Amino acid sequence: MPTLLADAKNLLADQIDRYRHQVDYLAIRLEEAEGTDIFLRGNKVETLSEGISIGGQVRACYKGGWGFASFNRLDTLAARIEEAIAAARLVGEEETLLAPVEPVVDVCSLPLTGSNPRQISLAQKKELCDRYNEILRSADPKITTTSVRYGDSSQKIILATSDGTLIEQSWVDMEMRFAATARDGETVQTGRETIGSRQAYEDLTDLDTQVRAAAKRAAIALSLPSVKGNTYTVVIDPILAGLFVHEAFGHLSEADMAYENPDILEVMSMGRRFGSKELQIFDGAAPLGHRGSYFYDDEGTPATTTQLIKDGILVGRLHSRETAGKLGEQATGNARCLNYHFPPIVRMTNTWIERGTTPVADLFADISEGVYACNWLGGMTNGEMFTFSAGEAWMIRDGKIAEPVRDVTLSGNAFKTLADIEAIGNDFYWDESGGCGKGGQSGLAVGCGSPSLRIRDVVVGGEAA
């Protein structure tokens, strides 16, 4: 395959024209990617590599049935097209329903605000990782294990479809992850920090404070008491709130979840109230500068901003062309694939809760006993149920932040929790650390944003009360 994918545009157009009449829809997506991967664990370098990946995929749809084939040799393109068409014709037995999208011919690149990481040497990136690793290790004598991961990638995509779309799109993405584990006898605590960007290598070069804080959190937590398990009014910071809106609500807004599951479709019915009139939730790739931003999705649908909840009421969901066609709604530009090995599926982009009006200090007022939870260590969701672990937390007593506690997990039902939001802060923060997983495609870059939230009746796990 040519190193410059633009050389293949005429070939794609010829192949689309040759085969388009055999199916209802045909798309060819070519991809050229290069990147760096560094992973340090303690004193050991586990990964230090740079690589180039070139390949493509074919998607064909016939009578509602899909065929898919991937390849990394352009001279096999015709054979892969025929394989995808044969598979689609084998399984197709209904009607192809794809929401209409205007054909687009465009060349675009997400703008950088600083240095391109692909222009930075591997030695410099390794030196950066070494510096952060030393900060983690030297933060406290009780730190026993550290890890630093660096990754960057530059992707260029060409998409051609039987509708007449021909798009060339490129972007750069980068991410760093840090972890430090502290031990005191049988007690073990971990602090983590993740930073991502699609704007500049410099966004990763001045993180000493955050890295040191992650290690300090682990060491300090060793001597903290565990929170007493109970039901509390909680205040969560924008980072944890962003994780909540992504994991607990965002996935339920992905329309493939709805049309494949009648129970979810019934629960996620348009016009249903999920929260107060102050609650506004959005998703969209159109706002530039975030990890989930782009100009066109992997079906060629222009990026949009979709309001999911307006004044507390469900008014939208996220779509591919197929889910929009099947549900009689508009495509939202949320069909994304991790790389050419996978077909596009419905994915979030940048998901956020709009800023509220309550001063942050007032969120704590009148809480006689509660929990203030910040940042995150991890979490899981199962349908509408969720459990998240806070990175650090404090008790709230008589409207004031009191003593720090550890082992704070928040659990509940996403819909009930949305309804139990009592106040929305007037602060806001974009968390660019997200790497979302779904359908075997893990690590897809997303953005999450939120103000601080005050929520009543949250189940907080820790030591038994």
Tokens of 180: 């430090």
Q: Check residue 133 and give its pLDDT.
A: 98
Show Cβ contacts of residue 218 under 8 Å, excluding neighbours closer than 6 positions.
140, 142, 143, 180, 181, 182, 189, 190, 191
SS3 assignment, position 210:
helix
Q: What type of residue is 139? A: A
- How large is the average pLDDT for residues 297-304? 98
Walk me through the domains of the chain, giving residue ranges and CATH numbers.
Answer: 5-221 (3.30.2290.10), 230-461 (no CATH)
- How large is the average pLDDT for residues 214-232? 96
More confident: 455 or 260: 455
Q: Is the pLDDT of residue 104 over 70?
A: yes
How confident is residue 264, by pLDDT bands cut at 50, 70 and 90?
confident
Q: How far is CA 128 from the centre of its chain?
A: 25
How confident is residue 5, by pLDDT bands cut at 50, 70 and 90?
low
DSSP code string of 88-136: HHHH--S----------EEEEEPPPSS--GGGS-HHHHHHHHHHHHHHH
- How large is the average pLDDT for residues 439-446? 93
Average pLDDT of every residue of the chain: 95
* Strands 409-413, 453-461: pairing kind: antiparallel
* Strands 105-109, 166-184: pairing kind: parallel
Q: Is the pLDDT of residue 2 over 60?
A: no
How confident is residue 95, by pLDDT bands cut at 50, 70 and 90?
very high
Q: Check residue 263 and give its pLDDT.
A: 86
Q: Is the pLDDT of residue 462 over 70?
A: no
Show Cβ contacts of residue 410 under 8 Å, excluding neighbours closer than 6 positions.
234, 236, 240, 373, 386, 387, 388, 390, 458, 459, 460, 461
More confident: 465 or 54: 54
* Residue that the structure tokens 């990394």 belong to: 72
Q: Check residue 259 and give its pLDDT.
A: 82
- How large is the average pLDDT for residues 62-69? 98
Q: Is the pLDDT of residue 1 over 80?
A: no
- How large is the average pLDDT for residues 383-387? 89
Question: d(Cα 40, Cα 139) in Å, to the nearest integer?
Answer: 17
Q: What type of residue is 425? A: G
- How large is the average pLDDT for residues 300-310? 98
Q: How many CB atoms lie within 10 A of CB 325?
A: 19
Tokens of 166: 């021909």
CA angle, residues 116, 119, 123, in degrees to nearest 5: 120
Q: Check residue 381 and give its pLDDT.
A: 85
Contact 184, 32 (CB under 8 A): no
How confident is residue 463, by pLDDT bands cut at 50, 70 and 90?
low
Question: d(Cα 149, Cα 166) in Å, to the nearest integer?
Answer: 36
pLDDT in tens, 423-437: 999 999 999 987 899
Q: CA separation (Å) from 68 to 73, 81, 324?
A: 16, 9, 20
DSSP code string of 357-385: SB-GGGGGTT-SEEEEEES-SEEEEETTE
SS3 assignment, position 309:
strand
SS3 assignment, position 219:
helix
Question: d(Cα 33, Cα 45) in Å, to the nearest integer?
Answer: 24
Question: d(Cα 428, Cα 426) in Å, to the nearest integer?
Answer: 7
Question: d(Cα 82, Cα 269) in Å, to the nearest integer?
Answer: 40
Residue 36: exposure state from Cβ atoms within 10 A (0-12, 13-18, ≥19)? buried
More confident: 41 or 384: 41
SS3 assignment, position 81:
helix
pLDDT in tens, 137-159: 999 999 999 999 999 999 999 99
Contact 408, 460 (CB under 8 A): yes
**Dihedral-angle region of residue 7 (phi above 0 means left; psi in -120 to 50 means alpha; beta otherwise):** alpha
